[in-house]
Chain A
Amino acid sequence: MKILETKNLTKRFDGVHAVDRLSVGIEKGGITGIIGPNGSGKTTLINLWSGMLLIDSGEIIVGETEKFTRILPHQVYFYGITRTFQNVRLFEQMTVLDNILVVLTERNVFSSLFEKHTEYHLKKAEEVLQKIGLWEKRNQLAINLSYGQRKLLEIARTLAMKAEIYLFDEPFTGLFPEIRKVVSGIIRELKQESKTVILIEHDIGLIRELCDYIFVMDEGRLLTEGKPEHVLEKREVIETYLGE
């Protein structure tokens, strides 16, 4: 079953096609990699899926039934989509704990006024912070964390959500091997829980290791798709992506 699709999706910036009539379908419950050289439109695609950019033309289909030609950022949560960012975007002058608690609580303005975080919220926050080893730093401001810890906290923030689709934009970039293992473990766990992970990554080794299926993009278009072991052997992929 396709959980997330695009049909002829197009996004232009000043006349340049960042995503150009792209049609792809993501299978439910697996890890799908999106690779391609810099500027190939990978992050633009994730921004379109998460409502952070408006669609110029084409459509996004969630769960084979919900079709959108326009979706706003706050709406994607209700379709079970969550994401991380290529450049970490935490709530810097809030504590590590508050960075998690804030996504656990009420979305409705009026209800949120009369809600305080409960034991349930704290437990859930502890669970995700323990998983990434940041529980001890829960009272520190996010701005004071190291780069690796910040990346982990951003992933933890998505784990705190009851999402079905996780969009991870280069989650391994700049991480030490130890932390890379933690992130790989989290992604594998999500797969075991039948969640769908969409991973933008430049490290081909990680793509081979983690992904069930990959899409290769170039200049906003789909170059090819398939299982990593097949796709990464293709001549055009090697030429375009690896530059060999």
Chain B
Amino acid sequence: MNLVVGYAGLLSVTHAAFYGLGAYTTAILLTSFGANFFISIIFGIILAAIISFLIGTVLSKFKGDYYALGSFGFNIIVFSIFLNWQELTKGSLGIPGISRPELFGVDFSNNFNFLILVLIFLGLIYLVSRFVVNSSFGRVLEAIREDEEAIQVFGYSTLYFKLAIFVISAGMAAIAGSFFASYITFIDPSSFTLMESVFILVIIILGGLANLRGSILGALFLILLPEILRFVGFPTDIAAQMRQVVYGVILILFMLYRPQGLIGEYKL
């Protein structure tokens, strides 16, 4: 998402949808067709790429707040499909029994092996992202973020650049979704709501827009923070709510005093 929001400046909240597409592709292929996990990842990427290409073409007509609103709409549509296409997704009942990956006899059903596999994929995605942002393409994305009309006059058809990064990042979100489905072994639509997209957006804003390490830092910070807050000693009957309050206050303070996030290079 940082590639789309931080580098290209497109305020998109579609990622939970693509994450969900990856998760459902893996869940359906594994449970109904007995496919290999890694093959399901490829199918998830292809599906996310096709849908992101179509929706990206439509969203590219919008700018600024309208882009964000359009992406809201898309996320809600996809969520509704997950919820209501019962024959395929089993609706709110969800899909249980999703198996863990296995490759060349290596079983990833124990958590440690699974962690190693996720870290390998995280490393690969990080390297691909770095390759993208360090290329001339990455620089054009930043120019689009700064002044789309101005960069067009210099010969860049920005529609194609925006579309390309949207498709690339949707593919990456689909990979994350596949891992999520396999890790939890059960998915239902509640994991892919608009709030999930907002949560991912908060991660990248907090970590730092237009900074890849910022995304990882933001994720670590926001995932670990509630766990750390467990040890603060809030009375048990209000602990959960208080953790949410502290979590919210920290976010507000960041927005007020460090809008570029922890190590960001760009202010919204």
Contact = CB atoms under 8 A, between A and B. Distances in A.
Contacts of A90: 146-147, 150
Nearest to A105: B136
B265 A89 contact: no
B164 A109 contact: yes
B155 A93 contact: no
A133 interface: no
Contact of A77 (B140, B154, B164): B154
A114 B164 CA distance: 13
Given A77-B153, A78-B155, A107-B156, A116 B146 contact: no
A102 B161 CA distance: 13
Interface string B126-147: 0000001011110110110111
A interface residue count range (under 10 / 10 to 19 / 20 to 34 / 35 or more): 20 to 34
Contacts of B154: 77, 82, 102-103, 157, 161
A166 to B, nearest CB: 12
B139 A74 contact: no
Contact of A91 (B136, B150, B267): B150
B152 A74 contact: yes
A144 interface: no
A92 interface: yes
Interface string B152-171: 11111110110010000000
A112 B267 contact: no
Q: Per DSSP, are chain B's interface residues mostly helix, strand or loop, or mixed?
A: helix
Contacts of A116: 134-136
A150 interface: no
Given A93-B265, A113-B137, A116-B134, A74 B150 contact: no
B150 A89 contact: yes
Contacts of A112: 135-137, 140, 161
B65 interface: no
A91 B142 contact: yes
B202 interface: no
Contact of B142 (A50, A82, A98): A98
Given A74-B158, A94-B146, A51 B139 contact: no
A73 B157 CA distance: 8
6 contacts: A77-B153, A91-B150, A109-B164, A112-B135, A112-B136, A115-B136
Interface of A: 50-52, 72-74, 76-78, 82-83, 85, 89-94, 98, 101-103, 105-107, 109, 112-117, 157, 161
